Amino acid sequence: MNLLLAEVAQATQRLAAAGVPSPRNDAEELAAYVHDVKRGELHTVPDADFDARYWETIARREAREPLQHITGRAYFRYLELQVGPGVFVPRPETESVVGWAIDAVRAMDVVEPLVVDLCTGSGAIALALAQEVPRSTVHAVELSEDALVWTRKNVEGSRVHLHHGDAFAALPELDGQVDLVISNPPYIPLTEWEYVAPEARDHDPEMALFSGEDGLDTIRRIERTAHRLLRPGGVVVVEHADTQGGQVPWLFTEERGWADAADHPDLNNRPRFATARKALP
């Protein structure tokens, strides 16, 4: 074992003691970041090249600063994104939400699908759709100026059309034309603040996390926005907390112009997102 791997083993123990959910993964990611190698190449770093700054990054992670804030990057499906303070860090569970949406768009009998991502944050969802559905036109909407600093970096050179503004009033010029509306909105109840992991509670922007007493205030408004934007037969996809699976589909009722409202599990088989189709006239 070389010096770096021995230090990674010690760092793993420190992170585990601090309650970090994935201590080995994070210790290796930080070692690879500091030494500018891939995780699978850590054993190739000569002992003389060990960089003591590694322990500075471990101390930051030990204090529950998000791994992605330390490295400045987050991975999402086939993307590497720039992230940092002020923007919500994309989560792995959202990848299954996007996967469902991509399959739904591909199944549509539409040559050039029109997609809108509301509350885009880092731009992860919009960029994944633009990349994996090459003939799509993707619009992304974000209100936060702090988040937009990162969104603009990520969408630069892509086919995503970025809009600064309120998701609920966005894109009236597209009313009744959109094939898919997707969103990972804030959905944590204010009453759950103390139970949120420190990485999110202390570092993700509050406006990307919390949404009223039951966590559903933003989703209720997205339901109306999606209905306005979608063409008849168009689809909405909304992520929610795994405790809200019995509630969110009921916001997309027949009386409000929806059909086929359903809930879907993530890769851990927990309720993760709801979908509905705008009813035909």
Binding residues for substrate are 184-187
Cβ atoms of 33 and 81 within 8 Å: the answer is: no
**Residue 58 Cα distances to 27, 46, 71, 264, angstroms:** 7, 20, 11, 37
DSSP 168: G
The alpha carbons of the chain give a radius of gyration, in whole angstroms, of: 20
CA 196 to CA 202: how far, in whole Å? 9
**Which residues are known binding-site members?**
142, 184-187
**Residue 281 Cα distances to 140, 235, 254, 259, angstroms:** 27, 15, 12, 11
Measured over the CA atoms of residue 222, residue 228, residue 231 and residue 232, the dihedral's sign is positive
CA 207 to CA 40: how far, in whole Å? 37
**Which residues are known binding-site members for S-adenosyl-L-methionine?**
142, 184
CA 66 to CA 251: how far, in whole Å? 33
Task: Map tokens 């997309």 to a residue.
Answer: 252
